[in-house]
């Protein structure tokens, strides 16, 4: 089954319910795949507490995002929201409120704010510019859209008693970024590719840390701050 994901032609096995997950991404033209996801390389035995379908979902995602490194890309565990043609990503450990925060953006900005991947958006650097993509690997709620959006900023979330945001230096953002992407590889070349891609990302995209309470004020603060900083990206 050929799909078009993150502007790449991807051969995806139909096993494990992936046909329905990839329905919005089907590629109906002829073409050689850029990435081949192999069912033979799945390891369902690594997931004894998951269904076969869920293990296929995870294994196919790891293969896609591992291969994405070769195309100036990476995955960031985050919730991605589009507003006014720009993508804003909110990341952090599980339970830190990523989805809650993007829902607050929707509460504040209405239908203009669209969550296009709620778990694992793909990021790619193309012709010196960064884009965020919806993908079929999008978390338990299945929230995703097949779209490509210019990346405006990334924000790492922390819980707090008040709402405060600050911009991070690349050296501060690096460990946060690495903790929320795939970084354990058997091959050193994959780690080298990841570090090279992350290096460009940290230099070219504004990165923030938001200490927040789950209230609309926090959404307005993150939006206003990241929008102002995005002028550096879109000048």
Where do the domains of the chain lie, and which CATH numbers do they carry?
Answer: 1-71 (no CATH), 76-235 (3.90.228.20)
Q: Label the pairing between strands 73-75 and 122-126.
A: antiparallel
Strand order of the sheet with strand 35-36?
2-5, 8-11, 35-36
Helix, strand, coil share (%) of the chain residues, nearest 5: 40, 25, 35
Taking alpha carbons only, the member of 159, 144, 173 closest to residue 214 is 159
Contact predicate 37/58, CB 8 Å:
no
Measured between alpha carbons, how far is 53 from 111 in angstroms, rounded to an integer? 32
Query: Which tokens go with 109?
Result: 């900005």
pLDDT in tens, the chain (235 residues): 899 999 999 999 988 788 888 899 999 888 899 999 999 898 888 888 988 888 989 999 999 999 999 999 999 999 999 999 999 999 988 877 889 999 999 999 999 999 999 999 999 999 999 999 999 998 877 889 999 999 999 999 998 889 999 999 999 999 999 999 987 777 899 999 999 999 999 999 999 999 998 999 999 999 999 999 999 999 8
pTM for this entry:
0.94
Residue 189: phi and psi, rounded to 5, are -60, -30
């Amino acid at each position: 089954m050929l799909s078009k994901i993150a502007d790449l032609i991807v051969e995806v096995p139909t096993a494990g319910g992936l046909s329905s997950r990839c329905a919005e991404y089907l590629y109906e033209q002829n073409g050689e795949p850029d990435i081949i996801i192999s069912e033979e390389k799945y390891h369902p035995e690594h997931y004894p507490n998951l269904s076969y379908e869920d293990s296929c979902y995870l294994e196919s995602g790891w293969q896609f995002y591992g291969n994405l490194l070769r195309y100036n890309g990476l995955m960031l565990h985050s919730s991605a929201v589009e507003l006014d043609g720009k993508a804003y990503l909110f990341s952090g450990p599980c339970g830190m409120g990523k989805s809650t925060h993007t829902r607050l953006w929707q509460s504040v900005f209405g239908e203009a704010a669209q969550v296009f991947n709620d778990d694992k958006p793909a990021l790619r650097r193309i012709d010196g510019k960064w884009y965020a993509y919806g993908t079929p690997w999008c978390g338990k709620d299945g929230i995703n859209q097949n779209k490509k959006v210019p990346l405006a900023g990334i924000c790492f979330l922390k819980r707090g008693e008040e709402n405060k945001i600050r911009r991070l230096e690349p050296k501060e953002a690096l460990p946060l970024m690495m903790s929320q992407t795939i970084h354990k590889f058997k091959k050193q070349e994959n780690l080298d590719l990841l570090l090279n891609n992350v290096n460009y990302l940290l230099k070219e995209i504004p990165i923030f840390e938001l200490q927040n309470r789950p209230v609309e004020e926090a959404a307005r603060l993150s939006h206003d701050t990241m929008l102002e900083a995005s002028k550096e990206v879109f000048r």
